[in-house]
Structure 1
Amino acid sequence: MSYKVGDTLGTYTLLCECGQGAYGSVFLAENTFTKRRVALKIVYSQGRSCERELNGLIQYQTVCPRTNLLQIYHVEKGDDCFWYTMDAADNLSAEEGKYIPDTLANRLREQRRLTTDAVRKMADELIANLETLHRRGLLHRDLKPDNILWVDGSAILGDIGLVTDTSSVSLAGTPGFLPPEVLAGIR
């Protein structure tokens, strides 16, 4: 089944689509009871990649609760997909009713460049995110401008579906953003 704006999953109504990937979609969603807005990612069941993302998500949720990292709130598995809710990125749009996720990719599209101070602040926050992951024995594996978001004004790592422990040797990530040691077969 394919989900669209207006559909409901659990207690969440899908408000707008924020992005789409090879295995699923991300929506801005609202809890029908609390009215809290979250990002809701739907991952369609497609064998090992779906299983890998679900396992990475569970591992992340287990070792990274209540940290400076992206918070995962609800995970649910269905017949043809699984979905989870997480912090929604801040809104770059000043237009009422329009949502543009505050990601590094969107900031660069709109502003073309960032100030030196903004880059330093972002780098400090992302290094703290990576340190938190690495201290817990995890790797992000998909660092790219689309996966750097601002939540409550702070830069954090998004799309944690490819997070894995440091012993993993499988190739995962976005071509063009893979680290050289992965491409060279060192790690």
Structure 2
Amino acid sequence: MKSSNVRPELTIPDHEVLRKIGGGAYGEVWLARGVTGALRAVKAVWYNDFEDQRGFEREFEGILKYEPISRDHPGLVHILHVGRAEIEKEPFYYYVMELGDDVATGRDINPVEYEPRTLRSDMKEAGGDGIAVEDCIICGRMLAEALQHLHENGLAHRDVKPSNVIFVDGKAKLADIGLVALRGQQTFVGTEGFVPPEGPGSAQADVYSLGKVLYEMATGKDRLDFPELPDQLPEGVSLKRWRALNSVICDICEPRISRRKIRRAADLGQELHRLEEGRSRPFRTRMGLVAGVLGVLTG
């Protein structure tokens, strides 16, 4: 199948489609207004974007599996409705989601100027300094618990990265759930540097990806730079907290599966919850990143 160069005008039942706000290989995201006046995000996934019907139906199956559990956890973007339609003989499916905060105005959303707040936009605002360690710990714990909920229901996200984390009422949520699939599905998706050497599609691959997200948050560096140190380390109590978080990150992002000490989202959530409460974990010298920290402290 070959994707159309020009799409027919999108229409969604009971919604006024306002404007396109995102898109990628697997569909387009539109800002829409429902009959109640509430603003929503609507993702349309077109049949002709897939090589065959099997791929299209497989992705649709992932959404059907995700929809009922999406509203059971605060760390997942809620799906409010799923449907299928056809415009000018081009089939597609769509799903209506809660709308994320605006990058500048939060929940005070102007449809004309709306730009979603994502973890990537937060990191861009922070420049190369990274995000405050306490915010890293809290956000990481929320996302780990969201992944745990997905995994316990037999699903994997497959593309955890900063641009796929949005904020709703200031709380981080996993987004771009169009890539969610049954765990173990072998179709290769994901983003370079966030995908582990063994490939995507497993629960532990999602955890590895979240580890790389935490690395970018905590250091201000690109995930491909792992395990390099940040350009400037925090001081005082924050340095001790940063070292503890860094120890967790290194336990997740070891390239060799056999040496990863944290492979399950539940374990990661527990480690970050412990840090959030101020309880320390054993400090293990792991890889060059931690060794580099010690060198900075003693050199």
Range of TM-score over shorter length: 0.7 to 0.9
Q: Name the one with the larger strand percent.
A: 1
Matches within 5 A, 1:1-187: 2=7, 8-31=11-34, 33-45=35-47, 46=50, 47=52, 48-68=54-74, 69-79=76-86, 80-94=91-105, 96=110, 97-112=112-127, 113-182=130-199
Q: Contact 2:40 / 2:96 at 8 angstroms: preserved in 1? A: yes
For 1:18, the aligned partner's letter is I
Shift of 1:162: 1.8
Q: Deviations over 1:116-168 (max 9, x none)?
A: 22212211110110111112222111111111111121111101122122242
Deviates more, 1:150-159 or 1:56-65: 56-65
What percentage of residue pairs aligned between the two structures are identical? 34
Is the Cα contact below 8 Å between 1:23 and 1:50 reproduced in 2? Answer: no
Aligned-partner residue type, residue 102 of structure 1: R
TM-score normalised by L of structure 1: 0.85
Query: CA separation in 1, counterparts of 2:115 and 2:71?
Result: 27
| Structure 1 or 2: more helix by fraction | 2
Structure 2: any 5+ residue segments left out of the alignment?
Answer: 1-5, 206-299
How many pairs align?
182
Question: CA shift at 1:102, angstroms?
Answer: 1.0
User: Which amino acid in the other structure matches residue 158 of structure 1?
Assistant: A
Q: Which amino acid is 1:179 matched to?
A: P
Quick one: higher RCO (CA 8 Å, sep 6+), 1 or 2?
1
**Larger Rg computed on CA atoms:** 2
Report the CA distance between 1:65 and its aligned residue: 4.1
RMSD: 2.4
- Contact between 1:142 and 1:173, CA under 8 Å: does it hold in 2? yes
Q: Distance in 1 between matches of 2:181 and 2:43?
A: 18
Whether contact under 8 Å (1:39, 1:86) holds in the other structure is yes
Q: TM-score, normalised on structure 2?
A: 0.55
SS of aligned partner of 2:187:
coil
Aligned to 2:148, what secondary structure does the other structure show?
Answer: helix
Judged with a 3 Å threshold, the aligned counterparts in structure 2 of structure 1 residues 15 and 107 are, in CA distance, closer, same or farther, namely: farther
Q: Distance in 2 between matches of 1:110 and 1:13?
A: 32
Aligned AA for 2:81? Answer: H
3-state secondary structure, aligned to 1:180 = coil
Offset of residue 107 of structure 1: 1.7
